[in-house]
Amino acid sequence: VWNQVVLPMESKVAVLPDVRSARDQAITLLQRSALPDGHAQRRAGQGREFEALKDYQPGMGRRMIDWKRSARHGRLLAREFRIEENNNIVLAIDSGRLMCEPVDGLPKVDRAVAAALLSAFIALKGGDMVSLFSFDARPRVASGAVRGSTSFAMIQKRAVEIDYSNEETNFTLALTTLAARLDRRSLVIIFTDFVDPISAELMLRTVGRLTERHLVLFMMMRDVELE
């Protein structure tokens, strides 16, 4: 026997996104890059901040060679750079009509939120600043930039405000508004989907202006049922 009862409540109950999977994945990734004592490892790589000089090894790019210091020391020395910290990262989620379509039984926007929370958790742990932005026909959620792992709860609460929409996404309005909000160079990660060539063209025009100052990364979901 099944029965449904509606009870009035005097207070609101926030339904937060399930972040257990994202947090577990993030912790696994962080543990892989941690030192034996548990501290975070300095991230050497293809960044832009100079880290140190080291002996040139076969396979290194010629542009890494510091010719002046190599001549002074009598051997080839290469510049090692580290990945920058204290970056400003914007997680921009499209919640328009196309993002409400399911992929493997779950709406694309829900998968985008989960991926954004995973990115936020790792970025905050790594010392970067993170903000959340969502949009459909108009901008919706726009959080301020936060820092530190304790700020993840705030990002999670703002993610609750991202809702499904039946409206077409207005990329021009959304990305123009976002660009006006950013007062420093940022990495903008856009979680979206598009099939309309006209919308794609308008979006790319706007993105072209955004990339004049910022780095832009598109995240789109693969639908295995269409392959």
pLDDT at 167: 94
pLDDT in tens, 124-156: 988 899 999 999 999 999 999 999 989 999 999
**Cβ–Cβ contacts within 10 Å for residue 171, how many?**
23
Please name which of 115, 122, 147 lies closest in space to residue 34, comparing C-alpha atoms.
122
The counts of H helices and E strands in the chain are 6, 11
User: What single-letter amino acid sits at 42?
Assistant: R
Q: What count of Cα atoms within 13 Å lies in the side-chain half-sphere of residue 12?
A: 4
Residues in the chain where the model's pLDDT stays below 70: 14-51, 82-85, 224-227
Q: What count of Cα atoms within 13 Å lies in the side-chain half-sphere of residue 8?
A: 1
Domain spans, the chain: 44-82, 88-220
- The Cα–Cα gap between 152 and 126 comes to 12
Would you mind telling me the total number of residues written for the chain in this entry?
A: 227
Alpha-carbon dihedral 213, 162, 85, 29, rounded to 10 degrees = -130
Contact 78, 70 (CB under 8 A): no
CATH of 88-220, one of 3.30.70.920, 3.30.365.10, 3.50.90.10, 3.40.50.410: 3.40.50.410
Whether pTM exceeds 0.75: no
Please name which of 94, 98, 84 lies closest in space to residue 173, comparing C-alpha atoms.
94
